[in-house]
Amino acid sequence: MEKAKAVSSYFGSMTFDQKVMRKKLPKEVFLALQKTIEAGNSLSEEIAGAVAHGMKEWAMENGATHYTHWFQPMTGATAEKHDAFLTMDKDGSPIERFSGGQLIQGEPDASSFPSGGMRTTFEARGYTAWDPTSPAFLMKGGKGLTLCIPTVFISYHGEALDEKTPLLRSMDAVSRSAIKLLNILGVEGVSRVNTYAGAEQEYFLVDKKFYSMRPDLVMSGRTLLGAMPPKGQQLEDHYFGSIPNRVLEFMQEVEEELYLLGIPAKTRHNEVAPHQFEIAPIFERANIAADHNLLVMEIMRRVAEKKGFALLMHEKPFAGINGSGKHNNWSIGTAEGINLLEPGDTPESNIQFLVFLVAVLKGVYKRGDVLRASIASIGNDHRLGANEAPPAVVTVFLGELLEKVLDAIESGKVDFATEKQVLNLGLAHLPILNKDYTDRNRTSPFAFTGNKFEFRAVGSSQPIAIPNMALNTLMAEAISELAGEIQAKIDAGADRDAAILEVLREEIKATRAVRYQGDNYSDDLQMAASDRGLPNLKNTPQAMRVLTVQSTRDMFNDFCVLSPEELDARLNTRLERYVKGIDIEVRTLQLMLKTFVIPNVSEYQGEIADSFNALVDASERIGVGSKALKSQGDHLKGLAESLSELIDLTAELDAVIARLEELGEGFDAADYCADVVLPTMERVRSVADRLEFMVDRSKWALPTYSEMLFEH
Ligand code: ADP
Ligand code: MG
């Protein structure tokens, strides 16, 4: 067996990282670039030329011929348009060139990307500009390598046409608010506060041969039909079981590709459902984590293809089997490396921790609906609210110990003014709050896990830029409000510690409703949600309406993350994608009924009918009595009745599709999808799935759940 190379020996070797920059750039350019990156600024024109030159040299030495500005349009995928380095010199001889202008500002034709109605097509010019905090990289593809430059994508008028720009703006907003709050807490000299994310990515792998025989998987990423096998995941024997060899090879190849690109993949394991797996990286700055998660998805897709697998990233590819999410681990910390959600070992650092913790409660309580809207999607609707996935209600789990601490503060048992009491309550020794004490509630959509929050309701296929952008913005608001409240008390003459404690007490009380320590999959949560007045937005159109609410719009605008126009563009694009996606699903289902299920069942019914007729003819001769004939007749009758029911439902589906066509792509259409189209599809499915268990397997053309999930 070939011995694997140490990962550290090649990690990041396909990226234009610090090591390469130091080698390829003049010293003053290198230093200026580092400063730009640390401050989170954009690249200045003065050094762009030198950086571009160094980048091109490095890319060409590695065999790249083309470059591309790699960006995240509002479609949820990534986009790239490749340009060759090649140009013609004045005298007509070929030469490779890559200028500063090309590095900091590309100019793609934006008309082919959704703008959510923000610009008319004749103005469809957009600019892409390098986000220097995210390193350029060389991507394999076809026979060669392409230099990919992670960029933001903005319109001619400066509006964000991508998901990256708002994410970066939201990170700036958090930084501004957090520095303000830290100053009030007496912490000076912090230049930048960052948010960090680590995305645990779940996915399914199924054999390519089954996948290509299922139009539903190919067209919509999920099975629209398929009866549950006798063995589902009841035994939970897959979780942390040994990883099948073929899958392990897939994982190893994925990891090698990721390491080359400097993506720190850390853990791999089986998940709860059969054929379901997870990959998790080490957390990074949120914008880089967002880029890297997209690359993880892209590389997994490519390697799966190569290995004869189909990668299913859908949130609910198989009904009745656990879906896939993307646990978005989130924290906030200073550029100097202090995690603000980490309890420290002094009362001061613990007060700081508690203030930021309470800011999270405040933000999630006030803007739970925005958080919910940020993860609404066609696929995630099948997961959220189902009984084994995070619910549509956003609550926060803190764990027993923190609950006690907050209760003690609320009831007035803690007084920061006297350090002794603080120590008595153990606040100076909060470090015992490690993960073992907190990560107990796997049903919570938003759980504190030691020194970070885990937002578990994010869908597996979603770019994490959107939920992180929402989370950062609501945090910027909550932190800023908290700072204002403390400052007001200080201005009114209170001493700082007393002011902090009073505000904490008020906020702990005010946000109590968002803390939920029980089972989030239970009916009790649904009741608690309505008792406590927490939003319970069941589907995408309901959740998207949050973006039309004035106070939501004000928040995004006030914190300079999304203007009302930019917000509408996202609302329109996401509604359109929801409606189009369901339109594709319902048409695919109809096609499967008409070209697979109905013909398959009819054929089998014909055989049974022939055999029944033959039996009737022979019954007297061979002495088959009326009771036996009735049983066989009933069997045929049952089949015929179910088939007729399915044929009638298919006609109903035709009518539903026709109606959907009339409704356009706005809220009316989206509501119709949620309230009529999907339930009709469910009714169709239950009949088709019943028939699947009545029909001879050799007549059923679609691969079954058992085959897809239990055969290797
Ligand atoms: P699990 O949730 O499976 O127990 P961990 O808690 O160790 O696993 O980590 C899960 C993910 O959380 C990883 O991607 C990890 O890098 C990330 N993570 C750990 N610490 C932080 C942090 N401070 N901020 C953001 N993400 C973090
Ligand atoms: Mg986790």
Give the DSSP per-residue string, 358-384: HHHHHHHHHHHHHHHHHT--TTGGGTT
pLDDT in tens, 50-92: 999 999 999 999 999 999 999 888 877 788 778 889 999 889 9
CA of 701 to the centre of ligand 2 (A): 39
Indicate the pLDDT class of residue 427, thresholds 50, 70 and 90.
Answer: very low
pLDDT in tens, 477-533: 999 999 999 999 999 999 888 899 899 999 999 999 999 988 888 888 888 888 898
Q: Which ligand is nearest to the CA of 280?
A: 1
Q: Which ligand is nearest to the CA of 455?
A: 2
Are the C-beta atoms of 600 and 639 separated by less than 8 Å?
A: no
CA of 431 to the centre of ligand 1 (A): 17
- The three-state (H, E, C) secondary structure of 395-417, written as one string: CEECCHHHHHHHHHHHCCCCCCC
Tell me what pLDDT residue 1 has: 62
- pLDDT of 295 > 80? The answer is yes
pLDDT in tens, 360-396: 999 999 999 999 999 999 999 999 877 667 788 999 9
Tell me what pLDDT residue 629 has: 96
Indicate the pLDDT class of residue 459, thresholds 50, 70 and 90.
Answer: very high
Reply yes or no on domain 170-562 having CATH 3.30.70.1090.
no
- pLDDT of 430 > 50? The answer is no
- pLDDT of 419 > 60? The answer is no
Q: Which atom from ligand 1 is nearest to the alpha carbon of 329?
A: 26
Ligand 1 binding site (Cβ under 6 Å of any ligand atom): 196-198, 200, 280-283, 329-331, 339, 435, 439, 449, 451-452
- pLDDT of 436 > 70? The answer is no
Reply yes or no on domain 7-162 having CATH 3.40.50.1970.
no
Q: If you write DSSP's letter for every residue of 204-228 in order, what string do you get?
A: EEEEHHHHTT-HHHHHHSS-SS-PP
Tell me what pLDDT residue 437 has: 46
pLDDT in tens, 543-556: 999 999 999 999 99
Indicate the pLDDT class of residue 421, thresholds 50, 70 and 90.
Answer: very low
Tell me what pLDDT residue 119 has: 58
- pLDDT of 420 > 50? The answer is no
CA of 708 to the centre of ligand 1 (A): 31
- pLDDT of 399 > 70? The answer is yes
Surrounding residues of ion ligand 2, Cβ less than 5 A: 327
Tell me what pLDDT residue 416 has: 54
Task: Give SS3 for 96.
Answer: strand
C-alpha 685/C-alpha 216 separation (Å) is 12
Best mutation site among 452, 458, 468 for ligand 1 pocket (most ligand atoms within 8 Å of CB)? 452
Tell me what pLDDT residue 237 has: 57
CATH code assigned to 579-710: 1.20.120.1560
- pLDDT of 596 > 70? The answer is yes
For residues 98 and 45, which has the higher predicted lDDT (pLDDT)?
A: 98
CA of 267 to the centre of ligand 1 (A): 10
Q: What percentage of residues in the chain have a pLDDT greater than 90?
A: 69
Are the C-beta atoms of 110 and 174 separated by less than 8 Å?
A: no
CA of 459 to the centre of ligand 2 (A): 14
Q: What is the mean pLDDT of residues 171-190?
A: 96
C-alpha 213/C-alpha 671 separation (Å) is 31
Extents of the domains making up the chain? 7-162, 170-562, 579-710
Reference 501, options 411, 366, 431; nearest CA is 411
- pLDDT of 341 > 80? The answer is yes
Reference 320, options 239, 456, 227; nearest CA is 227
Q: What is the mean pLDDT of residues 168-175?
A: 96
- pLDDT of 423 > 60? The answer is no
- pLDDT of 287 > 50? The answer is yes
56: its two tokens: 């091109």
Tell me what pLDDT residue 255 has: 97
- pLDDT of 435 > 70? The answer is no
- pLDDT of 601 > 70? The answer is yes
Q: What is the mean pLDDT of residues 438-453?
A: 83
Indicate the pLDDT class of residue 122, thresholds 50, 70 and 90.
Answer: very low
Q: What percentage of residues in the chain have a pLDDT greater than 70?
A: 91
Are the C-beta atoms of 669 and 278 separated by less than 8 Å?
A: no
Q: Whose CA is nearest to atom 17 of ligand 1?
A: 198
Tell me what pLDDT residue 73 has: 85
Handedness of CA 178, 179, 184, 190 (dihedral sign): positive
Average pLDDT of the chain, as a whole number: 89
Tell me what pLDDT residue 331 has: 98
CA of 148 to the centre of ligand 1 (A): 28
Task: Give SS3 for 230.
Answer: coil
Indicate the pLDDT class of residue 242, thresholds 50, 70 and 90.
Answer: confident
C-alpha 687/C-alpha 640 separation (Å) is 12
Tell me what pLDDT residue 58 has: 97
C-alpha 533/C-alpha 517 separation (Å) is 17
For residues 712 and 332, which has the higher predicted lDDT (pLDDT)?
A: 332
- pLDDT of 704 > 60? The answer is yes
Q: What is the mean pLDDT of residues 620-640?
A: 95
Reference 373, options 303, 470, 300; nearest CA is 470
Highest mean pLDDT among 119-128, 225-234, 623-632: 623-632
Q: How many CB atoms lie within 10 A of CB 177?
A: 24
Q: Whose CA is nearest to atom 16 of ligand 1?
A: 282
Torsion of CA 311, 299, 295, 580, to 10 degrees: -40
Burial of residue 296 (CB within 10 Å: 0-12, 13-18, 19+) is buried
For residues 251 and 41, which has the higher predicted lDDT (pLDDT)?
A: 251
Tell me what pLDDT residue 409 has: 85
- pLDDT of 167 > 50? The answer is yes
Best mutation site among 239, 240, 279, 329 for ligand 1 pocket (most ligand atoms within 8 Å of CB)? 329
pTM over 0.95: no
Reference 328, options 209, 464, 441; nearest CA is 464
Q: How many CB atoms lie within 10 A of CB 77?
A: 12
